[in-house]
A and B are shown apart, each in its own frame.
Chain A
């Protein structure tokens, strides 16, 4: 609906400047310019897809949900990492919009970057509940529990579970800009999310990032929280985590109460 290519005289137009490069083919880096019509609700993603549909189908771009919940379309728009689907042309208030791939992630082609390093860092912080008896891998002895977790306990980690893994914070972080081994704001905030969860019983979570490229390479430049489209505030999570590591906050959490649920074995 937004991509209608009807020519309307009143239609406003914007210049979209798109970064082009095919890394595997070692093509030259250059920018292509397109004149794209827009309305007040047109997002940068709509405009890019308009270009792809009707002007140059070879523009490579990653996109999916178009409602800022999948995290695919992160890119640098006018110098700042943003989600293309979450940035309206009308709110940028410039006559040219420059779209570049997210910095700090290797470019595959045009606006598409390789997230493997980012995902690896996420995986390395063990982003899952570790429980002594919650999940048992042999299904004959499997027990099901329900946890009693007060709304206040949920609020302790809820904010950090808003993370959509879009990589914006990772590409805004100055440390990530030079340090490949630094887990980055996303992974560290996720570590805090599971650390603060009263259902998690992991003992050694904090040791994972207590090394020379770990959490201490955050210098609280705040850029991660500034660009986060979901209000996750990774910088807050990282600082709170450090407070536990320095022993300022007490590192003993009250675990959630567990109630065993009788499973309907005959149905499984």
Chain B
């Protein structure tokens, strides 16, 4: 029953570790971008928009979005799997976490694309 899954749990966990570590680096860059100017002005509209136009920063933002969505929703999946055990629940968790991950990435990407075009 467990054998014919797409990914073995060990592969999923490898993804979990890699996304976690990678996220630390990109988030660090993201936070640094807030700190190289005074914090208040880092949140100003024009500054933000200029960020979105910087292709390097766009790449960072998209990475954060993908990495943390995968890492975070997989974390939630793990916690929910531990809470209850039956096939219906477990399948529901899998479907829900995958869709939530895709949805969040899609929504965030929309912001990046639109802001980039502003």
Contacts and interface: CB of A to CB of B under 8 A. Distances in A.
Nearest to A177: B82
A212 B81 contact: yes
A: contact size bracket: 10 to 19
A179 B85 contact: yes
Interface stretch (B7-15, B27-35, B63-71): B7-15
B10 A216 contact: yes
B85 A246 contact: no
A245 B81 contact: no
A175 B13 CA distance: 17
B92 interface: no
Interface of A: 175, 178-182, 210-214, 216-217, 245-246
14 contacts: A179-B85, A182-B82, A210-B8, A210-B10, A211-B9, A212-B2, A212-B90, A216-B9, A216-B10, A216-B13, A216-B78, A217-B82, A245-B10, A246-B13
Given A179-B85, A212-B90, 18 more contacts: A175-B82, A178-B82, A178-B84, A179-B81, A179-B83, A180-B85, A181-B85, A182-B82, A210-B8, A211-B2, A211-B5, A212-B2, A212-B9, A213-B81, A214-B9, A216-B10, A246-B10, A246-B13
9 closest A-B pairs by beta carbon, nearest first, are A211-B2, A179-B82, A245-B10, A181-B85, A216-B9, A216-B13, A178-B82, A210-B10, A180-B85
